[in-house]
A = this chain, B = another copy of it.
């Protein structure tokens, strides 16, 4: 391990998602000091978030301490803090406690949040699916709904406890809807006595005309059929116009439900706005072909925060993990090359050098090239041992796709420790149909709408009724 040199340039990376992690790793041998900043202490394996939300995996199986990943990378420093603004001209970032720090290069990889398309007041009733806390909130809601159903005597209220609405038919929505249905059908139906969890109603609402719009039509159709077969109610071409604590309004129809999950849209981190660069309608930064920000060659934006068209195909680079990873590696190579070429081989330290990076040391800037997205394929899983996958123009459905999905996700999981534990959890979960992580935390029990045995009358009939209500609705 080479000792970092104090005079080496400082590369600040904001965000420990797939893009940020890939960039820091790709800079391991570059003569720079890399500072990774994330407001969470963990890297999150977002593709499996829905498995936490549905109690298949415990949180620790898909989250990994960021600094553990870089334990052996001598030039990498990890800080668990929140950046609130960026000053491009002064090459400084500001933290939420007002302290600030300088950078020579900046890689902005802060990802995206759920978007409610201007209706942020819906958020408390329809949590998104982006963070570990989101997944725990949704898990609590789903499990609480089943618990409340067990104590409910009013058939109308019971139906509301057992109605689950997923808004958005992309990969997250498809996987979540399938997993919720499966939770009721396979796993926990035997644990409840007073209602049949198999009757849980799962509604998947998609504004477009097909599920998985980023995949092929044949995959969309396969996903539709597989979800329909396990009993998910799919509504295409339908838009949600209102959400509150009682349910949603969709195409003018009111559906009452206690559990609503939002996976309909994302907007990029608001940090992009502080760059002063042009943004697209989802708040993503319109970046140059080299992922840099126009007018600030030492600032790159990657992953879900970047809006870019592939140079060859003209298609937009999708907001998926492989794209973020590839962008992180691409910009890391640019930085390493330029530092080695002497464009910036020392930290900005002489008062007579303007902090704006565009003033170089006089060295020739090497040609940066254009980012090209290499599409390795995409996949989505649907319930137990079914999936759709597209790799290199080939389309798989069913068990083979699911095995591919399992394999790819296992080998991608960060860290030896997690990979074994996740595999064990999955194996046990699939063999026993048991969901080991059905833990409600942090919330007091919510109240059922209609009390069990709430009548306190003293007549024999009344008391019998109370006992019947308490025990016999099986």
Interfacial chain B residues near A61, Cβ < 8 Å: 58
Closest 5 CB pairs of A and B: A99-B451, A58-B60, A80-B147, A97-B447, A99-B454
B425 touches A421 (CB 8 A): yes
* Set B40, B425, B444, B460: member contacting A440, Cβ < 8 A: B40
Complex interface residues of chain A between 84 and 123 (CB less than 8 A to chain B): 92, 95-102
Complex interface residues of chain A between 413 and 462 (CB less than 8 A to chain B): 415-418, 420-421, 424-425, 428, 432, 434, 436-442, 444-445, 447-448, 451-454, 456, 458-460
Greatest chain B CB density within 10 A among A61, A440, A466 is at A440
A453 touches B147 (CB 8 A): no
Interfacial chain B residues near A420, Cβ < 8 Å: 424, 428
- Which of A164-172, A346-354, A363-371 lies at the interface with chain B? A346-354
B63 touches A470 (CB 8 A): no
- Which of A186-194, A312-320, A335-343, A384-392 lies at the interface with chain B? A186-194
Q: In the assembly, what is the distance between CA of A59 and CA of B442, in Å?
A: 12
Q: Is residue A227 within 8 Å, beta carbon to beta carbon, of the partner chain? A: no
A339 to chain B, nearest CB (A): 15
Q: How large is the interface on A (under 10, 10 to 19, 20 to 34, 35 or more residues)?
A: 35 or more
A429 to chain B, nearest CB (A): 8
* Set B60, B193, B466: member contacting A101, Cβ < 8 A: B466
Q: In the assembly, what is the distance between CA of A451 and CA of B15, in Å?
A: 20
Greatest chain B CB density within 10 A among A60, A100, A447, A463 is at A60
- Which of A22-30, A71-79, A217-225 lies at the interface with chain B? A71-79
* A434-B68, A436-B421, A439-B65 known; A470+B101 contact, CB < 8 A: yes
Q: Is residue A133 within 8 Å, beta carbon to beta carbon, of the partner chain? A: yes
Q: Is residue A10 within 8 Å, beta carbon to beta carbon, of the partner chain? A: yes
B454 touches A6 (CB 8 A): no
B447 touches A71 (CB 8 A): no
A135 to chain B, nearest CB (A): 10
B348 touches A452 (CB 8 A): no
Interfacial chain B residues near A190, Cβ < 8 Å: 71
For the complex with contacts A65-B191, A349-B467, 9 further pairs of A-B residues with Cβ separation under 8 Å are A4-B471, A6-B471, A10-B467, A59-B60, A60-B437, A97-B447, A99-B454, A101-B452, A133-B441
Q: In the assembly, what is the distance between CA of A71 and CA of B39, in Å?
A: 41
Q: Is residue A279 within 8 Å, beta carbon to beta carbon, of the partner chain? A: no
